[in-house]
Structure 1
Amino acid sequence: MDHGSAQISPARIVPATRVPPVALGLLALQHVLVMYAGAVAVPLIVGRALGLPPEQVAMLVSADLFACGLATLIQSWGLPGIGIRMPVMMGVTFAAVTPMIALGTNPALGLAGIYGAVIVAGLFALLAAPLVGRLLPLFPPVVTGTVILVIGISLMRVGVNWAAGGLGNPRYGALLYLGLALFVLLVILGLTRYARGFIASASVLIGIVVGMAAAGAFGLVDLSRVATAPWFDVVRPFAFGAPTFDLVASLTLCLVMVVVMIESTGMFLALAEITGETVDAARLIRGLRADGLGTVLGGVFNTFPYTAFSQNIGLVGVTGVRSRWVAVIGGVVMLVLGLIPKLAALVEAVPPCILGGAGLVMFGMVAATGTRILGAVDFAANRNNLFVVAVSVGFGLIPLVAPAFFKQMPDVLHPLLESGILLTALSAVSLNLFFNGLGSRADARAAAARLAHAAEA
């Protein structure tokens, strides 16, 4: 659930036949660079939150890049009955981060429990893809905007702790860490304000690179593991052991996948408007099945649930190139990057304070996107929407501000109750039905497209 700043210009769309191979390659590389920081953020967040050693965090990064490539190829190139076959780049969704950390920190589940739940959620998405159109009325902008807002707020805790040096760091909050985080933040904001085109689109990645150089000058970067990491290695299935399957954990991520598929639906409809192509029910189902199959492969190859990256959809509008082969080549690039352990070790070597400066932007943009979507909700004519947002945000903040609030509840419910995102989703859907009833599917499709445009703007 990542967000770009592109302005969409459908009149500039260029047919694929007009794009020479070299230009396609450069455009594909641009797509990879624009999404790279967001793509590697989730394995870093989850790996460090679970206290994994650096070599295993690097393994998660490699697995994520490899699976990003596979999921992108499935979505853009396509398989029989699977894949929307449009210029879509796939990456790990931020929506699943908080629930997965709650699952992984449960001693009875751990990584094996996460991967079992991811596989079940992917299979669920494969089977449920034809039904998502019927679920759209459950997720109007007042619901989806509220959920995305709480996702961003929940993730900000990660970014703030990174900026201070990372939890468990004996120098937590040192002025050097805070200063470097602020420096990265200022670089990103400066590039966003004054740069144009690709430089502005890749401002987060450039900010991390510049920040890492600054951190190296202060002796905060340890590249010893980069030196010893091999240049090439395969990504092995089930590298952390056989997955385990827990009912509540699986149901938790299945609910997350419903939110992910609703968001993907909006992205696909918005992309159709940008490129001038038609996305009918059959094509939409193929695209959602690709989300499911990509997520299954994520569980097999030691990574997480996948969805379309919105900043890359916005980039299609910027470049004006609608060729799906740009995404296909980008998928191949991501897959190859996942086979280079030195690169993963380099990503893992980025100090937390540098990631914190970038995280404040990335995670804050998620929250801002939720706010922007809610800005399209009519609160004046329908005051009931205020109660939907107010109560749902309140439920979503319970695990954040009072972690022990549900301590006396049965252990089996903790993965569900400790996820503010899922509490928000359940509350928002229920309250919207109570106050506003169920809308039509046509209205829901139109609202999903508007939601996607809001996420890209």
Structure 2
Amino acid sequence: MKEKTKEPGNGNVLFDFYGKAPEMSQLVPLSLQHVLAAIVGVITPSMIIAGTCGLTDAEKTMMIQAALIFTALATFLQLFPLFHKIGAALPVIMGTSFAYVPTLTAIGADFGIGAIMGAQIIGGIVAIVFGIFVKQIRKLFPDIVTGTVIFTIGLSLYPTAIRYMAGGSGHPEFGGLKNWIIALLTFAVVLFLNNFTKGVLKLGSLFFGIIVGYVVSLFLGMVDFTNVMNTTSIVAFPQLMHFQIEFAPAACASLAIVYAVNAVQTIGDLTSTTVGGMDRVPTDNELQGGILVQGVASIVGAFFGALPTASYSQNVGIVTMNKVVNRVIFAVSATVLLVAGLIPGLSAALTTIPQCVIGGATLSVFAQIAMTGVRLFTKDGMTARKTTVVGMSVALGVGITQVSGCLQGPGIPEWINTVFGSSSVVVATIMAIILNLTLPPEE
């Protein structure tokens, strides 16, 4: 049995992964803030891919439901491992991920939704293999590499937060004054509660910030209930094998690479969770179990129309910010997502939160992720070697993604841009590993 993890000198059940259920006044806001932080990330990839593949509204709804359901199931596996092997037994929210969207969009446009599901099955197998051998692979990821990856993850999420704060891509008033007023108000509430209050207000700062932003948005007429009103079914389930699975070699190869890289990101997220929330590094078994969930959930989800699964960095940020790791809180979050997936009306209601509110609330979370990475690679001091590894890796990774088309010139295969041109984390990770292995050790 794993050793219970508590905040040093603190007997509060909130900081004990195996602790009893906290009081309702704490349980409800702390659970719901994880739901609210994840909900946009859970449903948006399905909406994007459905549009790319030309699916019907009914199929889009089914994909959103599948995303919510498999987010919940994957999270339950992380909290309560199957056979003590599949799952990390860590406070982690899993779900469909933006990290795969660029590659999935390219596959969907070229081959269709069936090829996405087939490539996802192959990618899930790659993740499982990666998880099985993570003990051997982990030596490639010391603190200097893992810290660089986590720092880059945080940096790569900043544009997402700003895009949300401006209203979200495709919003008719993107960048408008109302969006920024709501976003900055939400951000200010989160910042104030997190730094100037105590107790449940401090721990649930993200939740209360979203509530304030949502209420103000209601008064300004920025909340659209059309999808809720159009919902007719009380309970609905995603269909097994609704999409015919196809295996396109090019699609499978490109997504397999992305899965391998995302397994590295999962290592970063799990490390960030334990370092930021539990003051320790994860064990090999925890990393293995966490990555296995990523693979298993992706494979099974493909048969129901759910997109690839990964750990959620924004929820990791909440853990590092408030140190709350009680698994009952995360189980309640997963239950809410599961119910939302089974009840179309509730699922539609969760999607009414304006993206500017989500952006204002999560900006501080993404910042915390980046600072967790800094904490990792500077904990023994900053040396010339560390400066080179971190600086060069981040510069190349972030730089490539900021220059559109820089990997699409003559002589460069299209898959190079698909895999490396859209993810600063991929490039920074590979660069950090190479530099750490090749640069001479410090005296």
Alignment-mate amino acid for residue 168 of structure 2: G
Conserved 8 A contact 1:121-1:257: no
> If the length of structure 1 is used for normalisation, what is the TM-score?
0.77
Q: Secondary structure of 1:338's match?
A: helix
Partner of 1:363: 366
Contact 1:146 1:374 in 2 (8 A): yes
1:33-72 alignment runs, 5 A limit: 33-47=32-46, 52=51, 59-72=62-75
Give the structure 2 partner of residue 306 of structure 1.
310
Find the aligned partners of 2:399 and 2:321 in 1 and give their Cα distance: 36
Counterpart for residue 166 of structure 1: 168
Task: Provide the C-alpha distance between the structure 2 equivalents of 1:210 and 1:161, rounded to a whole number of angstroms.
Answer: 20
Query: 1:214: how far off?
Result: 1.3
Q: TM-score, normalising length from structure 2?
A: 0.79
* Aligned match of 2:77: 74
Q: Distance in 2 between matches of 1:249 and 1:116?
A: 10
- Does 1:339 pair with 2:329? no
| Superposition deviation, residue 373 in structure 1 | 2.4
Residue aligned with 2:407, SS: coil
Q: Count residues in correspondence.
A: 421
Distance 1:149 1:77, change over 3 A: closer
- Tell me the secondary structure at the aligned position of residue 94 of structure 2: strand
Query: Once the 2 structures are TM-superposed, how far is the Cα of residue 86 of structure 1 from its aligned partner?
Result: 3.7
For 1:91 and 1:295, how far apart are their aligned partners in 2? 11
Inter-partner Cα distance in structure 1 for 2:321 and 2:198: 13
Which residue of the partner structure matches residue 448 of structure 1?
none
How far is 1:199 from its partner? Answer: 3.2
In the alignment, residue 198 of structure 1 is paired with which amino acid? V
Q: Which residue of 2 aligns with 1:450?
A: none
Q: Does 2:436 align with 1:435?
A: no
Deviations 1:227-274 (A, max 9, x none): 222332113345565365521222222221133146436756998888
CA distance in 2, matches of 1:286, 1:174: 44
Partner of 2:258: 252
Asked if the contact 1:264/1:288 (under 8 Å) is kept, the reply is no
CA distance in 2, matches of 1:420, 1:431: 16
* Equivalent position SS for 1:242: coil
- Decide whether the 8 Å contact of 2:30 with 2:203 is kept in 1: no
Matches within 5 A, 1:270-289: 285-289=288-292
Alignment check: 8 A CA contact 2:270 2:287 kept: no
**1:449 counterpart residue number:** none
Q: Which moved more, 1:177-186 or 1:304-313?
A: 304-313
Aligned partners of 1:54 and 1:351: how far apart in 2? 21
Q: Deviations over 1:131-155 (max 9, x none)?
A: 1112122112221222222222222
Which one of 112, 115, 121 corresponds to residue 119 of structure 1? Answer: 121
Q: 1:159 to 1:315 in 2, by over 3 A?
A: closer
Of 156-165 and 58-67, deviating more is 58-67
Structure 2, unaligned runs of 5 or more = none
Aligned counterparts of 1:258 and 1:177: Cα–Cα separation in 2: 35
Q: CA 1:169/1:258 → structure 2, altered by over 3 Å: closer, same or farther?
A: closer
**Pair 287,353 (structure 1): closer, same or farther in 2 beyond 3 Å:** closer
- 5+ residue gaps, structure 1, are 1-5, 439-457
Moved more, 408-417 or 357-366: 357-366
Note if contact 1:151-1:367 (Cα within 8 Å) is conserved in structure 2. Answer: yes
SS at 2:342's partner residue?
A: coil
Go from structure 1 to structure 2 and tell me whether the alpha carbon gap of 1:55 and 1:289 turns closer, same or farther (over 3 Å shift). same
Worse-matched range after superposition: 51-60 or 428-437: 51-60
1:195 shift after superposition: 3.4
RMSD: 3.8
Aligned counterparts of 1:411 and 1:102: Cα–Cα separation in 2: 11
Asked whether 1:203 is paired with 2:209, we answer no
Instruction: Give, in angstroms, the shift of residue 406 of structure 1.
Output: 0.8
Matched residue type, 1:39: A
Is contact 2:276-2:320 (8 Å) kept? no
- Deviation sequence 1:11-43 (CA, Å, 0-9, x none): 516699994xx7588876566324212321323
Write the distance in 1 (CA, Å) between the matches of 2:17 and 2:168: 45
Please say if 1:232 is aligned against 2:231.
no
Equivalent residues of 1:416, 1:423 under 8 A apart: no
**Which amino acid in 2 is paired with 1:303?**
L
Match of 1:150 in 2: 152
Distance 1:116 1:213 in 2: 42
Larger mean CA deviation between 280-289 and 392-401 belongs to: 280-289
Cα shift at 1:226: 0.8
Q: Give 3-state SS (helix, strand or coil) of 1:306's partner.
A: strand
Amino acid at match of 1:394: A
Q: CA 1:267/1:61 → structure 2, altered by over 3 Å: closer, same or farther?
A: same
The equivalent residue for 1:387 is 388
State the percentage of identical aligned residues: 23
- What residue in structure 2 maps to residue 378 of structure 1? 381
Residue 305 of structure 1: CA displacement?
1.8
Tell me, yes or no, if the aligned pair for 2:81 and 2:89 is still in contact at 8 Å.
Answer: no
Query: Which amino acid in the other structure matches residue 257 of structure 2?
Result: L
Aligned-partner SS, 2:133: helix
Question: How far off its partner does 1:416 sit?
Answer: 1.2
* 8 Å Cα contact 1:28/1:330 also seen in 2: no
Deviations 1:154-208 (A, max 9, x none): 2222222222223334433221221111111112112212333333333223322
| Paired residues of 1:379 and 1:385 also in contact (CA < 8 A) | yes
